[in-house]
């Protein structure tokens, strides 16, 4: 019993280093002001090209199959020839059982393979199964893994169990990028989002990500603001740069510009690249491409 108390206090001590008593109303005001005063200046072709290069082009449908995923990947292959003046997407994101399909189909450089794994989207299963699924995805060819933070453990204040889940999966990933999805729509408050961000980073996340896209609300500017602030404070205390990925509900170019602006204003220029900033989406690719080229394009 004494040992558990000591372990719990370690995570409480970590959280105590940060201000997690945040007003949702105050965050909303700050985000609204930022959108009103800063976004329009970033509405440029150069920024849109960067945003395209930051996309994790995603297909996570129940009807996905080997043939459809192969066709999806072939579009990314073809893009290099059809639009050589635009840098390709950052990665292709699929379910773990399709990692080998993408690996065997993808023939362009500098596009990674991302797999959602670890009992996506609920994170509700045994850690042994999560580890096995992550390991199989990596064996199939995945470069990056997106997992869901155990939200149930967060609400139970089982910070040790939550952190152990993440750290054990990171141990399997080794040098591969691990993105931890907070499912901010379930966390609801700015305070909870800040706490979950800190715990995920301390446990070994290389990126923190807003949402699975399977629960509403998905990504919101308010959640992004809180997460980026947590990343900034974590970097100031540890020297470790953590990436940020909004995902779910990114339906317009303006949405993407809002997230770009939040990253730029809070984290700065060092984060404005696809090593530290990603966008989880599929529909956004065509919208950005259309605005970059100045005509409606339905490529993906």
d(CA 167, CA 203): 5
> What DSSP string describes 39-50?
TGGG-SHHHHHH
Q: Check if the beta carbon of residue 179 is closer than 8 Å to that of residue 208.
A: yes
Per the annotation, the verdict on 130 as an active-site residue is no
**CA end-to-end span of the chain:** 55
Per-residue pLDDT tens over the stretch 46-89:
999 999 999 999 999 999 999 999 999 999 999 999 999 999 99
Given the residues 30, 130, 195, 245, the one annotated as active site:
245
**pLDDT above 50 (res 251):** yes
pLDDT at 8 over 60: no
Could you tell me the fold of the domain covering 2-293? Answer: TIM Barrel (3.20.20)
Per-residue pLDDT at 3: 47
**216 pLDDT exceeds 60?**
yes
Per-residue burial over 112-146, b = 16 or more CB atoms within 10 Å of its CB, e = otherwise: bbbbbbbbbbebeeeeeebbebbbbbbebbbbbbb
Is there a catalytic annotation at residue 146?
A: yes
The answer to whether the peptide bond before residue 162 is cis (omega within 30 degrees of 0) is no
Per-residue pLDDT at 29: 98
Residue 1 has pLDDT above 90, yes or no: no
Helix, strand or coil for residue 107?
A: coil
- Which one of 143, 146, 165, 255 is the catalytic residue? 146
Query: Residue 265 CA to chain centroid, in angstroms?
Result: 19
Tell if the pTM clears 0.85, that is, is over it: yes
Residue 100 bears catalytic tag:
no
Task: Round to whole Å and give the CA distance between 294 and 300.
Answer: 17
Per domain, the residue ranges of the chain are: 2-293
Averaged pLDDT for residues 243-256:
96
Whole-number pLDDT of residue 9: 60
Residue-averaged pLDDT of the chain: 96
Given the residues 48, 153, 179, 209, the one annotated as active site: 209
Mean pLDDT of 16-35: 97
> So what's the pLDDT on residue 63?
98
| pLDDT over 90 percentage in the chain | 94
pLDDT, tens digit (0-9, with 9 covering 90-100), for 108-162: 999 999 999 999 999 999 999 999 999 999 999 999 999 999 999 999 999 999 9
Task: Report how far residue 146's alpha carbon sits from residue 130's, in angstroms, rounded to the nearest whole number.
Answer: 12
């Amino acid at each position: 019993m004494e040992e558990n108390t000591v372990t719990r206090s370690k995570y409480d001590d970590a959280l105590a280093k940060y201000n997690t008593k945040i007003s949702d109303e105050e965050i909303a005001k700050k985000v609204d002001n930022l959108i009103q005063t800063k976004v329009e200046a970033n509405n440029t072709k150069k920024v849109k090209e960067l945003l395209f290069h930051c996309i994790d082009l995603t297909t996570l449908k129940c009807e996905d199959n080997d043939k459809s995923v192969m066709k999806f990947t072939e579009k990314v292959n073809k893009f290099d020839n059809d639009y050589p003046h635009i840098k390709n997407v950052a990665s292709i994101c699929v379910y773990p059982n399709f990692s080998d399909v993408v690996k065997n189909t993808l023939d362009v450089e500098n596009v990674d393979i991302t797999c959602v794994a670890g009992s996506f989207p609920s994170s509700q299963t045994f850690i042994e199964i999560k580890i096995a699924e992550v390991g199989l995805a990596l064996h199939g060819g995945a470069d990056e893994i997106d997992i869901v933070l155990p939200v149930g453990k967060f609400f139970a204040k089982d910070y040790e169990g939550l952190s152990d889940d993440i750290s054990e999966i990171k141990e399997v990933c080794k040098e591969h990028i691990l993105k931890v999805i907070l499912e901010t729509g379930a966390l609801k408050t700015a305070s909870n989002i800040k706490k979950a961000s800190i715990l995920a980073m301390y446990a070994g996340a290389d990126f923190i990500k807003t949402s699975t896209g399977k629960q509403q609300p998905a990504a919101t500017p308010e959640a992004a603001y809180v997460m980026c602030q947590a990343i900034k404070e974590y970097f100031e205390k540890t020297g470790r740069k953590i990436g940020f990925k909004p995902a779910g509900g990114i339906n317009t170019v303006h949405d993407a510009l809002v997230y770009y602006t939040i990253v730029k204003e809070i984290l700065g220029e060092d984060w404005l690249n696809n090593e530290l900033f990603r966008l989880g989406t599929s529909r956004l690719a065509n919208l950005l491409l259309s605005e970059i080229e100045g005509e409606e394009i339905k490529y993906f």
